[in-house]
Every structure is written in C-alpha cells, then in structure tokens.
Amino acid sequence: MVLSCPHCQSMKIVKRDVAKRMGGLLGTVGGAASGAAKAMEGAQVGSRVGLVAFGPMGATLGGFAGALLGGLLGATTGGVAGAKLGEVIDAQVLHNCECLHCGHRFSDPNADEAFDPGVFRA
C-alpha cells in the first residue's frame, strides 16, 4: 500500500525511523554490556572445558572463545530487541511519516496492523 499525505495527498512520504535507529544503537550498547557479563561466564565455562580437554593451553583458548561468543550474542540480541522496540515507538508514539511536499508529520496508518496499540497507550 502506498502512503499519501493526509494533509495535501502527496505521495512523497519518507519514514523517519528515529526511535528505531536509536533503539538499535542503545540495544546494541546495552546488549554488549549484558553480553560482557555473559562473556565472563562464557570465559569461565570455556576455560574449564578447555582445561579438561586440552590442558592449560586449552583453558586459555576456551576462555577466549567463550568470552567472544558471549559478548557477540549479547550485543546482537540487544540490538535486534532495541530496534524492534524502537519500531513500535516510531509507529505508535512518534509521527513516523513525513511529507516531503508540505512537511506534515503523521503516523503510519498501516502500523497498527502489526502491533496492538492498546498495549502502548494508557
């Protein structure tokens, strides 16, 4: 479905996606932070497994591998969750669509189909 401006009916509409971009960024940072905790866990598990399997050298390698996996996993999940949340905020709270013709800002009328707006409105 093509969007048109409710004010001047122009088809030149852009999506601003402000919260989505912010959410993705914040989610990645937050996810990396929580991923750091997971990385410590992963490092401990990895070094223990590595020690049993390959001795002291294996412990070091296992620790690195575990930390890397834990950190990456946290950052990725955080980023995705943040972007998803931002998408909801864009659609429900901010006027995500902007008319290039008259500058009118409005909410995407199709966004309500994907999410239940009742959850986000008081």
Rg (CA), the chain: 22
Least Å from the CB of residue 9 to Zn ion: 7
How many degrees, rounded to 5, is the angle at CA 31 between CA 30 and CA 32? 90
Q: Is 101 in the site for Zn ion (CB under 5 A)?
A: yes
What whole-number distance in Å separates Cα of residue 8 and Cα of residue 37?
A: 52
Q: Is 98 in the site for Zn ion (CB under 5 A)?
A: no
Q: What are phi and psi of 106, to 5 degrees?
A: -150, 165
Part in contact with Zn ion (CB under 5 A); list of ranges 1-9, 21-29, 84-92, 106-114? 1-9
Q: Is 107 in the site for Zn ion (CB under 5 A)?
A: no
Q: Is 104 in the site for Zn ion (CB under 5 A)?
A: yes
Member of 11, 37, 57, 102 binding Zn ion (CB under 5 A): 102
Q: Which amino acid is at 72?
A: L
Q: Is 5 in the site for Zn ion (CB under 5 A)?
A: yes
What whole-number distance in Å separates Cα of residue 71 and Cα of residue 1?
A: 40
Q: Give residues in contact with Zn ion (CB under 5 A).
A: 5, 7-8, 10, 99, 101-102, 104
